[in-house]
């Protein structure tokens, strides 16, 4: 399974992270498929740079983001854009005229018409 997650880099007590696409079996700081961004939490304000096109591509291919990456994607607005493309448009609920008369009017209407004509 492919995951989008953070890869820790930097010195002791001075971390920064790369947002990478990696196989879930590879170690946290190990081999990765593609580097799609970076995150510097110690800067004020925090630096978040994520390649939107590549992130959307990997999400559409089924890559599962970690919790922290989902949070970063929401801040950048990428997660909302992915959710919009993921949901299919809902069909409009217009009543079809052909179904209603057959079910209700056909059975009741013919019974009342028969009783009226025999009396």
pLDDT at 29: 79
Q: What is the pLDDT of residues 64-111, one digit of tens each?
A: 999 999 999 999 999 999 998 877 766 667 766 665 555 555 555 555
Q: Smallest Cα–Cα separation from 7: which of 15, 18, 16?
A: 18
Architecture of the domain made up of 2-86:
2-Layer Sandwich (3.30)
Order of strands, edge to edge, in the sheet holding 34-40? 47-50, 34-40, 14-23, 2-11, 64-65
Q: Where are the domains of the chain?
A: 2-86
Amino acid 47: pLDDT: 94
């Amino acid at each position: 399974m492919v995951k989008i997650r953070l890869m820790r880099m930097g010195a002791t007590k001075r971390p920064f992270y790369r947002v990478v696409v990696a196989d879930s079996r590879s170690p946290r700081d190990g081999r990765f498929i593609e580097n799609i961004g970076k995150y510097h939490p110690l800067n004020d304000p925090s630096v978040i740079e994520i390649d939107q096109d590549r992130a959307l591509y990997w999400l559409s291919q089924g890559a599962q983001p970690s919790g922290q990456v989902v949070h970063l994607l929401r801040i950048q607005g990428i997660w909302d854009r992915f959710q919009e493309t993921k949901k299919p448009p809902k069909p409009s609920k217009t009543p079809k005229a052909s179904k209603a008369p057959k079910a209700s009017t056909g059975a009741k209407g013919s019974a009342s018409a028969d009783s009226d004509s025999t009396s």
